[in-house]
Structures are given as C-alpha cells and as structure tokens.
Homo-oligomer: A and B are copies of this chain.
Amino acid sequence: MRDVYVAGIAMTRFAKQPDRTLKDLTAEAVSGALKDAGRTTSDVQAAYVGNAVAGTITGQEMVLGQVGLRPLGIGEIPIINVENACASASTAFHLAWQAIASGVHDAVLAVGVEKMTHPDKARSFAAIGGSVDMDTVPPDLPAGRSFLMDLYAASALDYMGRSGATVEDFARVVVKNQHNGGLNPYAQYGARVTIRDVLDARLIVHPFTLPMCSPISDGAGAALLVSADLRPDGIPPVRVLASTVRSAPADGSASVTSLAGAAAYEMAGIGPDDVACVEVHDAAASAELVLCEQLGLAPDGGVALIRSGDTELGGRIPVNPSGGLLARGHPIGATGLGQIVEIVLQLRGGAGPRQVPDAHLGMTQNSGAWHDKDNLVSVVHIFTKE
C-alpha cells in the first residue's frame, strides 16, 4: 500500500443553518479543501461523498454528490455516494484513502454533508431513527426525541451499573467539551458551564439532560487526499497511518470500536500511548467514556479518565479538542470529516487557542448506527505529521 497524505481540509461551521442548502454547504467545504491544498477541481480524479439523511429530510436522495459537485464544475470522474449512518463521512474518507493507497488514483476528494434541520422537528428525529434496524423500532415512539438517544440512554445506564459512573461524570464530559467548543470557530456551541448547570438542564431521557445529547446540525466537511508525489508545498504534511472500517460482529462477541481500534493500531504500528489527541464519537456524553475504554485510552476505566482531567486541553491526552459532537455539533453525514479536520489542524499546529502542544500523532473514531447494545459501524483513522 502507498503512503496517503491529507493535502487539504475545510469545513463549514456546524450549526442549525436552515437557510443553507446542501449544495451551498458542499461548495464551501469542497472549495475550501481544494484551496487549502493549492489545487483546483481539475486535479480531482474521483470523489466519495458521505451523507445520511438527505433523502428523508430534503428529498434529495441517491445522487447528492453529483448534484452538489456539478455546480463547482466537477464532472466526468467517478462520484460515489456513501452512506454509513453517522459514520458516512469517515467511510467516504476511508474509500478515498483506499483508492490512493492501492494505486487506483492520486488525488481523491472525500466529502461529508448533512442538512438535519427541518421546519417539522419530528422529521429530523425520525430521520435519525433510520440508523437502527427498523424492525427493532417500537411502534409507539416517544415524541420530541430520537429513538437512537433512547438506545444510548439504555447503554449509559448499563455502563453506570458496571463502571460506577455517575451523572456527574457525564456532566464532566459536557463541561470539558463545551469549553473546547468555545475555542473552536467551527463549533455549534461552546460555553462555560458547570456540572450543576448540566445536571439542572431539561431531562431528555434518563440519565441524559439536554446538553448530554448531541444536537441537530447542518454542515459539511471535505478533504483532498493525495499520493506522495502530489504532497503540497508549504503545508506541514499530514500522513494517514491507518484507516479501518468495521461492522459489529453478528454474534455480539466484541465491541465494534475495539475491533476497529485494534486493527488501526496494528496497521499504524503504534499503541494507544502513542496518541497525542483524539476525536471520539460522543453522540451522548456517556459514549465518550465507553469509547475511550474500547480504544485502550483508559487503562483505569473511563470514569477515572474523565475525573483525572487527563482528557482536558492541557491534559495527558486531550479528547475531543474540537468540542466533540456535543459542542462542535453533529450533522451526522458530515461529522466524520469534522473530526478529521480537527485532528489535521492539530497536527499542523493550526488549532489556535485549543492547540494541543506537540501533537505529532492523532486519531479519530466515528461511530454509526446501533444494534442491541453497541454501534453497528465504527471507523478509526490515525494520522501523523512528518
């Protein structure tokens, strides 16, 4: 396999942006990534475009990539639409990586774009519900929230039982990620909040209050991946050390993120201790703790990790320096690229007030969908600066 570099990155702000269109969001992210790489549309040899719910929310199903890239003058090349629920964008990035690593192409665009806001909020929630096996959805769904958050809540209660985690621990995740989001111009939210503030907020589904749940967002992210020959001058080169997509074992014998993480560490030839900073899929506050355990980042457990302060900016291993899904926002088909943009910025030393010192090696973990007690999909990437 050949070396693959991230030549250019860009993202829109993640936020509720009801007046913006899928095309508009795509154009900002793609133009930004090409400009960042010092390349033009004619350099792009293929594009993989991640999206999850445009069909349900906007009616624009099936050919989002072609429809979004055409106004930018991108045509003729293979454009492939990719869907893997909340892991759609990182799956698109994985396919772009694979096309270059295997020698098929030399310059490939990975895009993630999502519009989730809809005048009828129930439609937004229903769309998210499509990320489970529909045969498992109870007929009498609670109104005003996503069924997926009910599943995360059940998993959180289970985690509390076996780990000793408390709602205060989940609130600690929110306090940290809101703080980080406040330092990130691309973030949907970001505020100085206390544990008390988080616990006193509106209850969504026990044990989660509102700020423990990732929000509905609109946004896009893009990256241009290239082979070694096409590395841009003038930008600190960031190389993809590992890219793994895994599905949950059919027999439930292992967590999908531990499988994806172990495969990524092996591909990169590193271990969890080598990672300087990481973005994980905190769709709910509890998930950050569980995922850190599954990725081997919490030898003493997720509870000890969050209480230690190690995952704060300035700590041993900052987790979700961008603010994570909770604060940066979670436009589901774009989130994976939001994570990748953050880690590439960190490795380049371009993360401004939230810069992790000496960030030489970073990781992203993007979950998708749910079945039984685990995600159905997990995508892990490891990046290094050269």
Contacts and interface: CB of A to CB of B under 8 A. Distances in A.
A131 interface: yes
Specify which of A77, A247, A249, A369 lies most central, judged by the most chain B CB atoms within 10 Å of its CB: A247
Contacts of A79: 84, 245, 247, 377
A61 B53 contact: yes
A376 interface: yes
A86 to B, nearest CB: 8
Interface in A18-49: 23
Interface stretch (A96-104, A231-239, A351-359): A96-104
Question: Chain A interface residue count: which class?
Answer: 35 or more
A250 B72 CA distance: 8
Chain A interface, >50% SS class: mixed
Copies in the complex: 2
Contact of A56 (B55, B76, B78, B247): B55
A70 interface: yes
Nearest to A84: B81
A60 B83 CA distance: 12
Interface of A: 1, 23, 52-53, 55-56, 58-63, 66-67, 69-85, 88, 91, 94-95, 98-99, 101-104, 126-127, 129-135, 244-251, 259, 368-369, 371, 376-377
Q: Rank and list the top 3 A-B pairs by shortest CB-CB distance, nearest first.
A: A102-B102, A61-B130, A75-B250
Given A80-B245, A101-B104, 13 more contacts: A52-B61, A55-B56, A62-B85, A66-B248, A70-B247, A75-B249, A76-B246, A78-B94, A78-B245, A80-B84, A80-B95, A98-B99, A102-B102
